[in-house]
Amino acid sequence: MTETAVETGVFTRSLTVTVNGSARSAEVENRLLLVHFLRETLGLTGTHIGCDTTSCGACTVLLDGVPVKSCTVFAVSVEGRELTTVEGLAGAAGLSPVQEGFHQEHGLQCGFCTPGMMLASTALLAENPAPSEEEIRWALSGNICRCTGYQNIVKAVQYAAAKMKEAS
């Protein structure tokens, strides 16, 4: 059934994506995972590698505003799309409401899961500005924290929601 004429193939590709508002280009291997593209090619090490098996959510980034696990996406497959990493959360005015919430409510202990938590929280609040506690816990159920027991993470998101309501 198989008749493959291709003995040597093309295993790299030129990739252009928008990361935190800036266009970034690089020649990458097709097999390069998005998380390694961000961390190693672009040097954006705020995105963490936790389990590397699509379980923990530490590597969560926003792809066109939607949270995805960047350890389970090939970089070449996001050509032309927009990515937000933790480095892109703070604006000219300082920390984003979600970042401020994690700071004020102490929504972390070791901090390893925090970038992923904050990106998942940012996406939640963009879709649902006034989530219930259950909705927050549900939205963050793909992100694992081994320190906090989640109490203060929930409070951090509630803080951010209140802050955003105040500002609007």
Partner 1 sequence: MYPARFEYHAPASVEEALSLLERYGDEGKLLAGGQSLVPLMKLRFASPRALVDLNRIEGLDAIRQEDGHLTIGALVRHRDCERSEALRGRYGVLGDAAPQISDPIVRNLGTVVGSLAHADPQGDWGSALLAAGGHVEAVGPSGTRTISVDDLLQGPFTTALEPTEIVTAVRVPDPGPRAGGTYLKLERKVGDFATVGVAVHLSLANGTVGRAGIALTAVGPRNLRAREAEERLAGATLDDETIREAAQLAAEAAQPRSDNRGSADYKRSVVRVFTERGLREAAETARAGEEER
Binding interface with partner 1 (CB under 8 A): 1-6, 9-11, 13, 29-31, 33, 52-55, 57, 60, 66-69, 72-74, 76-77, 79, 120, 138-139, 141-143
Q: DSSP per residue over the chain, as a string?
A: ------SS---EEEEEEEETTEEEEEEEETT-BHHHIIIIIS--TTSPPSSSSSSS-TTEEEETTEEEEGGGSBGGGGTT-EEE-GGGT-BTTBS-HHHHHHHHTT--SS-SSHHHHHHHHHHHHHH-SS--HHHHHHHTTTS--SSS-SHHHHHHHHHHHHHHHHH-
Q: Rank residues 16 and 141 by Cβ distance to partner 1 and give the closer one.
A: 141
* Distance in Å, CB of 4 to partner 1, minimum: 6
Q: Of 5 and 93, which has the nearer Cβ to partner 1?
A: 5
Minimum CB distance to partner 1, residue 15 (Å): 10
CB of 167 to partner 1, least distance (A): 26
Smallest gap from Cβ 61 to partner 1, in A, equals: 10
